[in-house]
Amino acid sequence: MNRMDYQETVNNIKNYLTYLKEIGINELPVSLNTKLIAKSSEPGASVGQVSRLSENKLSADIKPKTLEDVKRMIGDCKRCRLHQKRKNIVFGSGNEKAEIVFVGEAPGGDEDIQGKPFVGKAGQLLTKIIEAMELKREGVYIANIIKCRPPNNRDPLEDEISACEPFLKEQLRIINPKIICTLGTFAAQTLLKTKEKITSLRGKFYTYEGIKLMPTFHPAYLLRNPNDKKYTWEDMQKIMEEYKHHKI
């Protein structure tokens, strides 16, 4: 490899690492670095070969394999404005091999303090719903579309959702549940890529990445509108039927 080829290779790698940094990936596995250096120093290695190696190997090696990997990717996240006032990142909790995942909107005050999802009054209601389904909270997985509390519990903004959604997608890919239950408008709209309101969406199964998805009302909404609990229970019964069908 002559000096010009070498410099072009270095520039290609620098550009790709800059791209990774922009999307929030700040470190690479040691094994990747050593393999890449070894390969690039092989006699006769062309710029194209090294460039393809860097792109192919990076995309394969940085794919998170566990929820802990995703948590490390998030790090001390500052990808949107919400980091400025948060106390804790609320990653998610539950069984990494859960067959049912509940996805809410965003952490509230109690969640921000404790760093866990659905631990306030809405969370207590969600726990009761899960138990009424003859499940245990620790047997399912619970997460949110965004992982930092919006000020005064306001609705999450589009750019905040865009910054955080990739991590939820990785969580769902790793868990690979049989059923996802979205709680509230934002969770359903984000995963289903729709602007339909929850009143129109709830009560029917949809598909997300090959997984059955049931939208229903958010527990916080049910605390304000207890008469609508019956609709959520109808949705939960449909989930239970589908879940039993998978277990047969």
Number of H helices, E strands in the chain: 11, 6
Domain range list for the chain = 3-61, 73-247
Domain 73-247 falls in which CATH fold? Uracil-DNA Glycosylase, subunit E (3.40.470)
**Would you call 116 exposed, middle or buried from its count of C-beta atoms within 10 A (0-12, 13-18, 19+)?**
middle
pLDDT computed for residue 63 by the predictor = 82
- In 3-state terms the chain splits into helix, strand, coil percentages (rounded to 5) of 55, 10, 35
Q: What are the residue ranges in the chain where pLDDT is below 50?
A: 29-60
* DSSP annotation of 67: H
Helix (H, G, I), strand (E, B) or coil at 221: helix
pLDDT computed for residue 134 by the predictor = 95
pLDDT computed for residue 33 by the predictor = 43
pLDDT computed for residue 13 by the predictor = 75
Pairing state of beta strands 93-94 and 141-144? antiparallel
pLDDT digits (tens, 9 = 90+) for 38-72: 443 344 434 344 333 333 333 445 689 999 999 99
Which strand (E) or helix (H) includes residue 74? helix 67-74
**What is the value of pTM for the model shown?**
0.76
Which strand (E) or helix (H) includes residue 140? none
Separation of alpha carbons 70 and 24, rounded Å: 11
- Sheet order of strands, 206-208 included: 93-94, 141-144, 100-104, 179-183, 211-216, 206-208
> Residue 248: which residues within 8 A CB-CB, separation 6 or more?
none
pLDDT computed for residue 45 by the predictor = 39
